[in-house]
Each structure stands twice: as C-alpha cells, then as structure tokens.
Amino acid sequence: MPEVQNREMMCAPRLQQEWGFGGRRKIRDGALLIALFLGGIGAGQFVVSTWIFNYPLSALIGLLFVAVGKSAAHLIYLGRPTRFFRLFLKPRTSWISRGLIFMVILIIFGGGYLAPLYGFDWLPWTTEDLLGKLILAVALMAAFIVMIYDGFVLASCKSISSWHTMLLPVMFFAYAIAGGVAMTAITFIFDSDASLSVESIVSLDLVLLAAMGALVAFYIINLASSDITAKESLRRLLFSRTAFFFIGLSILAGLMIPLALTAMHQMESEGAIASLLLGISAVLELAGDISIRHSILKAGLHAPVF
C-alpha cells in the first residue's frame, strides 16, 4: 500500500486537508490554526494573569486575543462567515459548539470581571469583591474549556488515529497554559509599570516545559505503538517536511532551548539580560506552541477505508 493517498482514487492513508495551512484553500485554511493558537494562548494568558498572577493588563490582552483574534480568525476560515451564529447551536453533541459557547462566556465574564478596572467603575462589582470573584470563577471555568476543547475536537475524529487520543486535550491544555505564561512574560517585559515575581514565572515555566516535554514524548510513544496510519503520521512528524515544525520548532526551539534558557536564567536572574532571556524563551515557546498545533494538524491522516 502506498504511504499516503496523493490521488483521490487510491486506497491508502488519506491526509486531512481541511484544517490548517496547506489545506484545500492553502492559506485561508490556516486561519483555523491561528484561531486555535490564539484561543489557546489568549485563554491561557487570561488564566495565568488572573488566577496565578494578579496582572489585569495581561489578562485583558489575553482576552482580546480571544475576543478579537480568535473570533476574526474563525470568521476568515468559515465558508459562510455570515452564518457564524449557527456554530453555537449544537452543544449537546458538537465540541465546536461547546468550545465557542464557552469562548463567548469567557469574553463576557472575563470582560465583565476586568471592566471595573478599565473605566466601567460604575459596575456593581470590583475585581476584589465576592461578586467579582464569582464572575472570575465563571470566566476561568470558560477559559479552561476554551483551552481544552480543540483537543477534544481533534480527539473526537475516530478515523484519524493520530488525533483519536485523550492525550491531545491534555497537551493542548498544557500548551495553552504555557502559551499564557509566555504571553504574560512578554507583556511584563514591555510593561515597565508591572511588578511581578520573575522567579515565579520562571519556575512555573520550568514545570510546564517539563510537562509538555513529557506529554510530547508520550504522544510519540503512543503513535509508535498504534496502527499503521498512526505510524505513518509519526513518520510524517519525524521525517517529512512537517518535521521542521515538529522537531525543529516544537521540540528544539519550543522545548529544549527554553529549558536551557530557563536554566541559565536561574544563574543570571538580574536586569536586562534576565529580561532578554525570558523574552527569547517566551517567543520560542510561542513558536513551539503554534508549530506543534500545525504539525499535529498536518500529520492528521484518515485510516484507509479498506
């Protein structure tokens, strides 16, 4: 059997061509990848900047990534963008509906939570009072689902072996949190007014990097021990053009180098150099984040029907 079906009339593992760059519509289908990426890191940044750090500006930026970036990317991607509202209609069965409904909840409650800080001080709650905390709790819960739902979207596709694993929601969640940390760090570097504990960012990052590394390793082992279609997906991740993104950007640039930089950071934790190291590490992690999503989409193969 040929490795993949490069013609319609062949019986072989078949590449998914709908989601991500290089699909049926080449560039435009990439908007979906951007949407997943922005949704993940935006929601992650909101969570990290509200729950772990108290950093409203960063939380706002994260929220804008979701509200503006992710939404716009989805609209660009859709075949009939004017009918976008229909996407919300089937939460009982469709992970897309679920994810997008919680995206809206995140935007509303996240925005509501931050609103008193940004001119809407007439609102009957503050970020500190009980009502505010309740609103935040709803927003956090929604953000959690936004971070994880795309993993479930992929995992629900039974015929794509490399996606049909519960590792994906976990991985996407971990990457969303890490992306959120990276975005928070970058915001912090550019925001001279902010006062955050750099150490805690770095420590958190270290934990996340280790977790992501472990998850990627599990994922590879999982593919290697699965059916032939999954093995072909793995071959594409490791040895085809996609390997540049998977190994080069995701693993080397997105995991290994940040790990090294974080280690260096432990020794050189003062001043401009520290900021620079943190910034580089954060940018690389974000590159790794989008790359791993891109690689997983690109390596998605339908099992042959016969």
Partner 1 sequence: MSPPNSKEKVVKTSCGMCYGTCTIRARTCDDIVVGIEGEPDSPQGYGNVCAKGISSIMQLYDPNRLDYPLLRTNPEKGLDVDPEFKRISWAEALDIMEEKLRDCLNRDRRGLYCCSTPTFPSERAYNIICFQRAFGTPNYYVAGGGLHCGNGPHMVAGMYHASWSVIPDYKYCNLAIYWGCSKGHGAGHAALVAMKQAADARERGMRLIVFDPFQSAQASAAEEWVPIKVGTDAAVALSMTNLLLNEYKIFDSQYLKTKTNAPYLVGTDGLYARDEKTDLPLVWDPIEKIAIPFNDKNLKDAALFGDHEAHGDKCKTSLEILRNHIKKYTPEYASKISDVPANTIRRVAKEFGEEARIGSTIMIDGHELPYRPAASIYFRGAGGHYNQAWQCVSLILLNHIIGCGDMPGGALAFGPPVHLGYPGTGRLGFNVEPDRDGLLVAKSWPYAHLPYPPKDPHDPPERLDLQDMFYVPTYTTIMMWENNEELWTKFKIPYRPDVMLNFASNQIMSIGNPHEVLDHFLKKFRFIISFNIFASEFEEAVADLVLPDTSFLERYTVSTTFPTVGVSCHSTGLGDWIWAIRQPAVEPKPERRAMVDVILEMSERLGLRERYYEALNEWINRAYGGYLKPENKWNTKEPLKFEKIMDTILRDKFGDDKGLEFFKQYGYLKWPKRVEEVYWRAFSDVRVPVYLEWIIKAGRKSRAIAEKYGVPDLVDWSFHSALPDYHPCPSYTTQTSENSEHDLLAFYWRSALHTYSMTMENPWLNEISENDPYTYTIQLNPDTAKRKGVKSGDVVWLENTKGHKTQGRVYLTEGIKPDHVGIAACAGHWAKGQPIAKGKGVFFNELIEVDKEHTCPLSLGQDICVAVKLYKSEGS
Partner 2 sequence: MVRYGLVIDLKRCTGCFGCVIACKAEHQTPPKVFWAKVLRSESGKYPVVNRQPLPVLCMHCKEPACKDVCPTGATKQREDGIVVVDNKLCVGCRYCVVACPYGARYFVEKWKDYFTGKDQPSSKYAEYAKKKWLAENDRGVVTKCNFCSERLEKDLKPACVEACPAEARTFGDLDDPESEASRLIKKRRGFRLKEELGTDPCVYYLPSR
Give the footprint of partner 1 on this chain (CB under 8 A). Answer: 2, 6-10
| By CB under 8 A, residue 119 contacts partner 2 | no
Pairs from 162-166 (Cβ < 8 Å, separation ≥ 24): 162/223, 162/226, 162/229, 162/230, 162/233, 162/234, 162/296, 162/299, 162/300, 162/301, 163/296, 163/300, 165/219, 165/222
Cβ 63 vs Cβ 112: under 8 Å? no
Comparing CB distances to partner 2, the nearer of 84 and 120 is 84
Cβ 49 vs Cβ 58: under 8 Å? yes
| By CB under 8 A, residue 3 contacts partner 2 | no
| By CB under 8 A, residue 9 contacts partner 2 | yes
Q: State how far the Cα of 223 lies from the Cα of 202, in Å rounded to an integer.
A: 31
| End-to-end C-alpha distance for the chain, whole angstroms | 11
Query: How many Å is the Cα radius of gyration of the chain?
Result: 20
| By CB under 8 A, residue 226 contacts partner 2 | no
| By CB under 8 A, residue 84 contacts partner 2 | yes
Comparing CB distances to partner 2, the nearer of 267 and 305 is 305
| By CB under 8 A, residue 192 contacts partner 2 | no
Single out the segment in contact with partner 2 by CB under 8 A; choices: 96-104, 181-189, 232-240, 261-269: 96-104
Single out the segment in contact with partner 2 by CB under 8 A; choices: 41-49, 86-94, 105-113, 188-196: 86-94
Q: State how far the Cα of 150 lies from the Cα of 77, in Å rounded to an integer.
A: 15
| By CB under 8 A, residue 78 contacts partner 2 | yes
Cβ 230 vs Cβ 169: under 8 Å? no
Q: Which residue has the tokens 């934790």?
A: 269
Per partner kind, with CB cut-offs from 5 to 8 A, the member of partner 1, partner 2, none near residue 26 is none
Query: C-beta of 21: minimal distance to partner 1 in Å?
Result: 22
Per partner kind, with CB cut-offs from 5 to 8 A, the member of partner 1, partner 2, none near residue 6 is partner 1
74 phi/psi in degrees, rounded to 5: -60, -45
Q: Which residue has the tokens 């996606």?
A: 163
Contacts with 12 (C-beta within 8 Å, 6 or more apart), sequence order = 1, 2, 3, 4, 5, 304
Beta bridge partners of 26: 23
Per-residue mark of binding to partner 2, 24-63 (x: CB under 8 A):
xx--------------------------------------
| By CB under 8 A, residue 120 contacts partner 2 | no
Query: C-beta of 80: minimal distance to partner 1 in Å?
Result: 23
Single out the segment in contact with partner 2 by CB under 8 A; choices: 17-25, 110-118, 170-178, 274-282: 17-25
- The residue ranges that bind partner 2 (CB under 8 A) are 1, 8-11, 14, 16, 18-19, 24-25, 77-81, 83-84, 86-90, 93-97, 100, 153, 156-160, 300, 302-306
